[in-house]
């Protein structure tokens, strides 16, 4: 759902209300909240995810199998090639490198295509982004600009969220990096095992390693898509609650930016849900949510009235959990709040909130 009403909004019956009414005619929700996934949505999306992961695993296993079978069947063809360099003869496995590159090229494109197809199927099931975020294309472009800016540089690595900011090319780069890393490691492991076990066992272990790695990487893509589907309406509902409570209170408006900085939101605006949360708060609660380096946040939170402290506590936990991750840095921040007796939730409560949110049951704070 867009954080701003569209131009053709019908007043109080905005698109959030229309989505709820439309879904209520066809499926039953576990609650009266439209941002909680229905049983039908959960069932269908899980089936699509299983099919996508299974197909990714088949492609990965065939990639390693074709590579190792060809090398073992025709060793003369894959023999080292002598290359003269600076007057020195070097024996390099050029044919092996070219063959592996060809297999990886095909595997990466097939894996990317399968995961895009699965993502589109899940988006159609949940009618995303049409009934969730009407400004989705704008947000994707903003993420791309943030990823290219000096403040949020793109770093080549194994984490998916940096790649997701690069739209279509990001998914291809993500699987290219994942496939290259996994293929090299599995090949080295198999080559090392050839000296200790039979070739069949060595190749089998390599297949298991590479397939497990690629399936896990594909699962990360589906996980991030699930969060993108769950987040927009969850953010809108939560921010509306804060607006009803504190939109006229200047003290709360001032502390919003400090809370987002403490939660690490404003330093990672290239992440979709973080950008959406900051934008929604800017529109509905505080018109000046900008990155800055405030003083120590905990004394400022301790000085707030008790009722406002509870709202800030909810905002902090919501900001940390809305992306579906619960990192070590966030655990450290929560421990810091607990030490200052500013947090009423236990660590187990926070983990349960995250698990329920990922399962499509909503983020209830």
Give the DSSP per-residue string, 113-163.
HHHHHHHHHHHHHHTTTTTT-TTHHHHHHHHHHHHHSSSS----SS-HHHH
Residue 148 counted as domain residue: yes
Residue 188, classified by CB atoms within 10 Å of its CB into exposed (0-12), middle (13-18) or buried (19+), is exposed
Distance CA 211, CA 194 (A): 19
Does one domain contain both 134 and 280?
no
Is 182 in the same domain as 102? Answer: yes
Coil, strand or helix at 292 = coil
302 & 183 share domain: no
The answer to whether residue 8 is domain-embedded is no
Q: Report which of 324, 76, 108, 82 is spatially closest to residue 222, judged by C-alpha positions.
A: 324
At residue 179, the pLDDT reads 93
Residue 238 belongs to some domain of the structure: no
For the stretch 64-88, pLDDT in tens is 999 999 988 888 887 777 776 666 7
Q: Is 39 or 49 the better-scoring residue by pLDDT?
A: 49
Task: Give the integer Cα–Cα distance in Å for 329 and 295.
Answer: 19
- Would you say residue 10 lies in a domain? no
How would residue 202 be classed by pLDDT, with cut points 50, 70 and 90?
very high
Asked whether residue 132 is assigned to any structural domain, the reply reads yes
Q: Are residues 117 and 202 in the same domain?
A: yes
Q: pLDDT value at position 25?
A: 53
Same domain, 52 and 109: yes
Q: Is residue 50 part of a domain?
A: yes
pLDDT attached to residue 294: 54
Residue 307 placed within a domain: yes
CB 13 within 8 A of CB 20: no
Q: Is the pLDDT of residue 312 over 50?
A: yes
SS3 of residue 289 by DSSP = coil
Indicate whether 92 and 160 sit together in one domain: yes
Domain stop point among 229, 259, 291: 229
**Are residue 37 and residue 186 in the same domain, yes or no?**
yes
**Those residues with Cβ within 8 angstroms of residue 89's Cβ, 6 or more apart along the chain or in another chain:** 82, 83
The pTM score is 0.80
Examine the domain organization and report whether 162 and 252 are in the same domain: no
3-state SS string for 49-69? HHHHHHHHHHHHHHHHHHHHH
Task: For residue 151, give its domain range.
Answer: 15-229
Query: Strands 88-92 and 81-85: what pairing?
Result: antiparallel
- CA distances, 92 to each of 23, 67, 78, 98 (Å): 62, 17, 10, 11
Following CA atoms 141, 146, 149, 154 in sequence, which dihedral angle do they give, to the nearest 10 degrees? Answer: -100
Q: Does 350 map to a domain?
A: yes
Average pLDDT over residues 138-167: 65
Instruction: Say if CB 276 and CB 236 are below 8 A apart.
Output: no
Question: How many domains are contained in the chain?
Answer: 2
Residues 275 and 180 in one domain: no
Q: Please identify, among 200, 229, 258, the residue that sits at the C-terminal boundary of a domain.
A: 229
User: Helix (H, G, I), strand (E, B), or coil: what is residue 284?
Assistant: helix
Q: What are the tens digits of pLDDT across the range 2-18?
A: 444 455 555 544 555 55
More confident residue, 151 or 198: 198
Between 186 and 17, the more confident residue is 186
Q: Cβ(132)–Cβ(233) under 8 Å?
A: yes
Residues 270 and 347 in one domain: yes
* Final residue of a structural domain among 195, 229, 263: 229
Domain identity same for 202 and 135: yes
Are 215 and 159 within one domain? yes
């Amino acid at each position: 759902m867009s954080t701003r009403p569209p131009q053709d909004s019908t007043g109080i019956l905005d698109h959030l209300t229309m989505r709820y009414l439309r879904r209520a005619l066809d499926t039953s929700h576990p609650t009266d909240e439209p941002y909680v996934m229905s049983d039908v949505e959960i069932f269908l999306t899980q089936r699509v995810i299983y099919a996508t992961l299974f197909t990714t695993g088949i492609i990965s296993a065939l990639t390693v199998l074709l590579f190792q079978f060809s090398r073992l069947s025709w060793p003369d063809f894959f023999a080292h090639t002598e290359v003269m360099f600076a007057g020195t003869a070097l024996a390099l496995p050029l044919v092996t490198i070219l063959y592996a590159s060809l297999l990886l090229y095909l595997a990466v494109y097939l894996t990317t295509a399968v995961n895009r197809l699965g993502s589109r199927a899940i988006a159609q099931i949940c009618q995303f982004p049409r009934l969730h975020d009407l400004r989705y294309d704008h947000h994707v472009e903003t993420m791309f600009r943030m990823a290219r800016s000096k403040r949020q540089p793109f770093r080549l690595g194994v984490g998916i969220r940096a790649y997701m900011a690069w739209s279509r090319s990001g998914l291809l780069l993500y699987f290219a990096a994942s496939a290259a890393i996994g293929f090299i490691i599995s090949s080295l492991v198999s080559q090392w095992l050839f000296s200790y076990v039979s070739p069949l066992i060595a190749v089998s272990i390599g297949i298991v390693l590479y397939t497990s790695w690629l399936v896990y990487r594909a699962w990360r893509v589906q996980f991030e898509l699930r969060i993108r589907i769950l987040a927009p309406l969850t953010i809108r509902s939560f921010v509306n609650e804060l607006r009803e409570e504190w939109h006229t209170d200047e003290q709360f408006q001032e502390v919003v930016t400090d809370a987002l900085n403490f939660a690490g939101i404003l330093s990672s605006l290239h992440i979709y849900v973080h950008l959406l949360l900051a934008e929604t708060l800017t529109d509905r609660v505080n018109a000046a949510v900008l990155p800055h380096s405030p003083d120590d946040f905990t004394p400022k939170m301790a000085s707030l009235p008790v009722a406002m402290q509870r709202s800030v506590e909810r905002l902090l936990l919501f900001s940390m959990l809305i992306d579906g991750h619960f990192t070590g840095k966030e655990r450290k921040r929560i421990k810091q709040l607990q030490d200052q007796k500013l947090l009423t939730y236990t660590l187990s409560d926070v983990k349960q909130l995250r698990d329920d949110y990922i399962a499509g049951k909503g983020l209830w704070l």
